[in-house]
Chains A and B, each alone.
Chain A
Amino acid sequence: MDMKMPISAAAITKMHAIIMAVVIIIAAVGASASYYLTLRPGAPEYIKIGWPAPLTGTLAGFAETTPWMAQQVEDYVNNKLGGIYLSEYGKKIPIKIIIRDTKSDPDLAATIAAELITKDNVDIMLALYSPAMTNPISAQCEKYGVPCIVSQTILLSWLMGAPYEWSYAIGLAEPDFAILFFDLFDSMGDKVNKKVAMINADDPDGRGFSESIKIVAKARGYTLIDAGLVPYGAADYSSYIYNWKSSGADILTGNMLFVDFATLWRQCNELGYKPKIVAMSRALLFPSWVEAIGGELPNGLIGYTWWSPFHPYKSSITGQTASQLVEAWEAHSGKQWTPVLGLTHAVLEVAIDAVKRAGSLDKTKIRDALAETNLNTIAGPVNFKAPLTPQQQARYRPFENLMKYKDHYVVVSPVAIQWVKGSKWPWEMQVIYNWESPEIPETAKMFLLS
């Protein structure tokens, strides 16, 4: 305070009153809130599953099915099954799935995860949809000691935070994609030459893909005509395209944003570059992205998926098959299914299974049960203790974290798909190569573009 300028007596008394009021309010709110929040008598009302999801923002496409899926499962478990039996309390307890919007912001995802843990006292957490979401959420779970199921993410990125004590992932392994594509190319024999045109986005995904392709291509005797890493939003790819054309590359591959790939593929068409195989990572995951390319151009483009209605699995909760789940979603939303649907359901299966086996809401017991998971889900078998296959071991050996922490993840094997004109939707994917998952039917025979 400025000593030379005394303030009126009235102002001072008011000041006193205000400061007093503030102190009392803080004390009262603090005391009552902490009493209320720590109060937990007898059997719990709910089994609480926390689910911070990017409902808005750049990742919103991934979480499109989240609220619906949560509602479906919650209704089924509570109404049809009467809850989950917990042996510790000797009765069935309903589940409550608490979804919060992270707005696709990693920092907000951490805030919200902490809120779900400290305020809503969730018993188990789900963290899905790209490293930007899974990493901050599972970091909070590690910090507070809450079991966390991570999915729909790239394992190498997630494992940067290893070792984990509380988090278990059902994820995708980067080294798989390049091998999947080259196994597919190899299966073509003499029908395509061994020249591969390549282009990648200048971002971590593009860089990672480029590195693995270079290694595999060299090992298998392919020649790469590499356009290098290109920034987002390039308007003109003609110099790369002429180069590919003149070198006669039969295969085009890479990892780009779908908008950039759409531009590239349109220009290839205009400039008369006609590769026999176009196998793209990332750009061809979602049907809406494929449609955005326009015209007949998407026909025959090749990508991969980790889930489809053709996968011969069913839900351990509802008994729905993959194709029934797809039908239910399409009937509810009027929108075409996306590969995200499967894992979005599978994480709930794994969460409920772990709580059921724990028979308790003690977080350590749930975590220990989670570690012992051995469940056939709608996205395939989940068993964190199962060893890697010999092929996986060979592929993952260069990646220390994948080898070291294999008890904390299972890999969902991708299969190669080809986009063709559909009956129900403009473009539908067909499984053309089941790779290391013989149980998944190949629904169509691959065709070459020219």
Chain B
Amino acid sequence: MELKSRYIYIVILLAVLTSLPLWVGGFLRDALILFFLYLAAAEVWGFMAKHAGIVSLGQQIFIGVGGYTTAVLSMYFGIPMYASVIISGLLGAGLAGLLSFPLLRLRGVYFAIGTFLAAEVIRLAFSGWEFVGAGKGLIFRDAYGIPTTIIYYPALALAVISIFLVYLLYHSKLGFGLRSIGADEDVACGLGVNTFVCKATCFILASLITTLVGAVNVIHHTYLHPTSAFSISWTVNFLFVAVIGGVGTIVGPIIGSALFVAFGYLFAQYLGLSLLLEGLIVLAILIALPQGVWSAISRKLKLNLKPPL
């Protein structure tokens, strides 16, 4: 069979996804937006963690920066919202570049701790910064008028871009470099890989996507509060989505994000127990399928997919 026919299926899938908001109800649209946003961020997080060995526990920095920048630029500076989103993306990428210098010199668990601490520092700074509402939070009034039928599209676009980015990255020269760094950083360096530049590029790209996720999220939720915008729970959720589905695969987070969003809604009615139930289910999945749901499926069906699928 021709490889082309696969592209046709991808095109059909995209056509269905693009037309979805026209004929599904409001709630499903809401759920899909969350699905796409978590998917987009988890794809890049999983790629970084699994292939490049960059386990960040600080991606909430970019969720928060994306949200605050978008809201502040469009509310206080009168910049059109789409432009604010783009500027916030650039700002997030720039910040990732700056943070690379101190943070990417740390390895493994020290890097993880470093990113988390950086996020905490930024959270504290925002909690005291009156201009952005400090601990009272920031209400993004200007986004009230934007219906989910519209927000759906940037969310979908982010998910698609994130998937393609991971696919292209994996097969690029940079991807080879990153995978060698993930495997053995010293050996990679000895073979001529400029490990800092490779890791920083990867971190910047992933953070760019994450910042845009934060930007779209604030347009959707219209409210920002430092404790939740910069909360570790964002990164923990990305981690769950990636790990449940199968970290380092492209399909894994798609399944992971669908499960994550479904669990969230399903368990919300068990008042006070939802966290516990979610935790137990995730634990059960990970014990039964340590490689994640998708890896188990593709092994069972003997799909023999090439990585990073």
Contact = CB atoms under 8 A, between A and B. Distances in A.
A contacting B, Cβ–Cβ less than 8 Å: yes
Interface of A: 1-3, 5-16, 19-20, 22-23, 26-27, 29-31, 33-34, 36-38, 55-56, 67, 99-101, 103, 105-108, 110-112, 114-115, 117-119, 131-132, 135-136, 139-140, 142-143, 157, 160-161, 202-205
Contacts of B148: 118
10 contacts: A7-B305, A9-B1, A11-B304, A20-B9, A23-B12, A101-B271, A110-B222, A115-B30, A115-B265, A132-B228
B306 A30 contact: no
Contacts of A14: 301, 303
Interface string B129-164: 000011111111101110010000000000000000
B20 A26 contact: yes
B27 A118 contact: yes
A106 B265 contact: no
B271 A139 contact: no
Given A23-B12, A105-B228, A106-B228, A37 B30 contact: no
Contacts of B137: 106, 131-132, 135-136, 157, 160
Contacts of B166: none
Contact of A118 (B1, B30, B144): B30
Interface in B22-58: 23-30, 34
Contacts of B29: 118
B275 interface: yes
Given A26-B16, A55-B271, A107-B221, A8 B228 contact: no
Top 8 nearest A-B pairs by Cβ distance? Answer: A161-B139, A119-B27, A34-B25, A118-B26, A136-B223, A110-B221, A118-B27, A204-B135
Contacts of A38: 25
A3 B136 contact: no
Nearest to A38: B25
A107 B222 contact: no
Counting chain A CB atoms within 10 Å of each CB, which of B24, B29, B128, B275 scores highest? Answer: B24
Contact of A19 (B9, B139, B231): B9
Contact of B26 (A19, A37, A103, A105): A37
A55 B268 CA distance: 11
B3 interface: yes
Nearest to B141: A161
A370 to B, nearest CB: 18
A143 B171 contact: no
A31 B137 CA distance: 38
Given A107-B229, A143-B143, A160-B139, A23 B16 contact: yes
B201 interface: no
B221 A19 contact: no
Contacts of B16: 23, 26-27
B246 to A, nearest CB: 15
B175 to A, nearest CB: 12
A37 B27 contact: yes
B13 interface: yes
Given A19-B12, A107-B221, 4 more contacts: A26-B20, A30-B20, A56-B275, A160-B133
Given A107-B221, A161-B141, A34 B6 contact: no
Contacts of B140: 139
B23 A203 contact: no
Contacts of A55: 271-272
Contact of A15 (B6, B145, B220): B6
A56 B1 contact: no
Given A2-B171, A15-B6, A115-B27, A101 B272 contact: yes
